[in-house]
Chains A and B, each alone.
Chain A
Amino acid sequence: MITLENVTKTYKNSTIALRDANVEIAKGEFVFLVGASGSGKSTFIRLLNKSETPDEGHIYVAGKDIGQLSNWKVPFLRRNIGCVFQDFKLLPTKTVSENVAFALEVIGRPRSVIDAQVPAILDLVGLAHKAESFPDELSGGEQQRVSVARAFVNRPLILLADEPTGNLDPATSVGIMRLLDRINKTGTTVVMATHDRGIVDTMRRRVIELDRGSIVRDQARGVYE
């Protein structure tokens, strides 16, 4: 599903964010990216949906070399990749249900599809009763559920999560992880960058550890360190 071949990414201030990375992630896998701040986890994630382009090497997503992808095709790549962030990125002027509907609306889905899928996904994340609330009326955990709903409503092949539990307390984090686990069980590949030792050690999934841009460990059913 995802292949990185000798991928190197250097930022303009000559920080090496990723150095000669070689990774193969199969369809349906659940992968944790761990490492200190600045070790290149976010860059790894941003490269996968072409928010960044690599300086060297090739990245294949769903069989396509996304380095060769022309700009106008990038949106179509992103429709197959859901994204969840530490800061949720919800629109404060829209209700929960409008926030989720927005993701379908802007890729041109017909109203009938939106009306059918939004309640279904809100039900899945357990927020059907908050559909008409605004984001600032929700707790952090609930907001992250909305953000997961938005990322998953289009049934993407891949879900990228950049520290999705970074702003949440441990109990709430567990709820989010259960949700991501359920999504993973539907066959969606999940790549998640995290600092959360407890989560990684509990879930025992594949762990890729980065240190100053280099992959120093790639372990199936791994632990945080």
Chain B
Amino acid sequence: MPIKVDYVVRETTSNLGRNITITLASIITVAVSLALVGASLMLRTGVENATARWQGGIEFVVFLRADASQTQIDAVQNELNSSPEVDSYQFVNKEEAYAEFKRLFADSPELVDSLDAGDLPPSFRVEPVNKEVDAVDSLGSQFTKSPGVERVVFASKTIRLIQQLSSRLTVGIFVVAAFLLGAAGLLILNTIRMAMFARRREIEVMKLVGATNWFIRVPFMVEGLVQGLVGAFLAIVALAAFKPFFQKWLPNPEDIPLVSGFTVGGGEMTFIFVTLGVVGILIGAIGAGVAVSRFLDV
């Protein structure tokens, strides 16, 4: 039996309006918790981008001159291959360096336009076997004098500290957000339970005259989904409005050497927003699903 859309819309809006205060409470809780999740995802993405070349145990980067010849590059590579102190390394050629630059500075097109692939130096990102500061220093310094090498840049304590801080902060925010999301789910569950209580006479009659279980359930399910979705939408609006400040509040990359900007690109924001939308829908669906299966005795 088809369930008429206009029926569901009418029932859902009247349910939402009937319990407007508790509906608002659940929407706000969903919005706040999802905004926290989104903010911590933004923070993590920002730090990852800023420290992009320092991930996975990379301790120093050998930047070659932009005009280094292939022979010079090969020589440095041989040196890396033969050194027992080098655990692994990664060669980033001019095109890859430019692609990464474009990604990290996607928000500043004038900066991207002012450079082209030829201007960026190729580099080797090196992960040493021994990660003690002294050992890394002496290994890295060996390459400074090699022909074609512009300079060697070391991961500083600052970068490790930023990475550590951001990962702990992300975990902390996620834990708080998880509790809030749980609370939001329970609030949605109770909102729907109240809506069902308010409509208990209608539900009784519907059962008596032979309305199908899904016909009775669907408006309540949609009510939960709407609450989750509206909460997610508010969180997305808040984060979109907050994003310009986010970039201003974080330390300027020029104050900390070695990192790129704390940027979060458009594609990454879209991913975060989609995540929030999906989580919002899930919370609404779970809250409503539990409510209709537990309290709607059909």
Contacts and interface: CB of A to CB of B under 8 A. Distances in A.
**Does more than half of chain B's interface fall in helix, strand or loop, or is it mixed?**
helix
A83 B1 contact: no
Interface size band for B: 10 to 19
Given A91-B202, A105-B7, A108-B3, A72 B208 contact: no
Given A105-B7, A108-B2, A108-B4, A76 B202 contact: no
Contacts of A106: 205-206, 209, 211, 215-216
Interface string B1-23: 11110010000000000000000
B209 A154 contact: yes
Interface in B87-142: none
Nearest to B201: A91
Nearest to B14: A93
A103 B206 CA distance: 7
B210 A108 contact: no
A155 B204 CA distance: 20
A71 interface: yes
A72 B212 contact: yes
A72 B213 contact: yes
A79 B4 contact: no
A107 B201 contact: no
A78 interface: yes
Contacts of A79: 209-210
Contacts, number: 53
Interface size band for A: 20 to 34
A79 B205 CA distance: 12
Given A108-B1, A108-B2, A108-B4, A89 B210 contact: no
Interface in A133-154: 150, 154
Given A108-B3, A108-B4, A89 B208 contact: yes
Contacts of B215: 106-108
Given A105-B7, A108-B3, A91 B205 contact: yes
A223 to B, nearest CB: 31
Contacts of A76: 210
Interface in A71-110: 71-72, 75-79, 83, 89, 91-92, 102-103, 105-108
A49, A83, A92, A103 pick with most chain B CB within 10 angstroms: A103
B65 interface: no
Contacts of A91: 201-202, 205
Contacts of A71: 213
B207 interface: yes
Contacts of A89: 201, 204-205, 208
A64 to B, nearest CB: 14
B210 to A, nearest CB: 4
Contact of B207 (A72, A78, A108): A78
Contacts of B211: 75, 106-107
Interface in A104-143: 105-108
Interface string A147-167: 000100010000000000000
A102 B205 contact: yes
Nearest to A49: B208
A196 B199 CA distance: 33
Contacts of B205: 89, 91, 102-103, 106, 150
Contact of A75 (B2, B201, B202, B212): B212
Contacts of A75: 207, 210-213
A76 to B, nearest CB: 6
Given A89-B204, A91-B201, A150 B1 contact: no
A217 B7 CA distance: 48
Contact of A103 (B3, B204, B209, B213): B209
Nearest to A104: B209
Interface in A28-56: 49
Contacts of A49: 208
A-B pairs with the 5 shortest C-beta distances?
Answer: A78-B210, A79-B210, A106-B211, A103-B209, A75-B210
Given A72-B212, A91-B201, 4 more contacts: A91-B202, A103-B205, A106-B206, A154-B210
Interface of B: 1-4, 7, 201-202, 204-213, 215-216
7 contacts: A75-B210, A77-B210, A78-B209, A79-B209, A106-B216, A107-B209, A107-B210
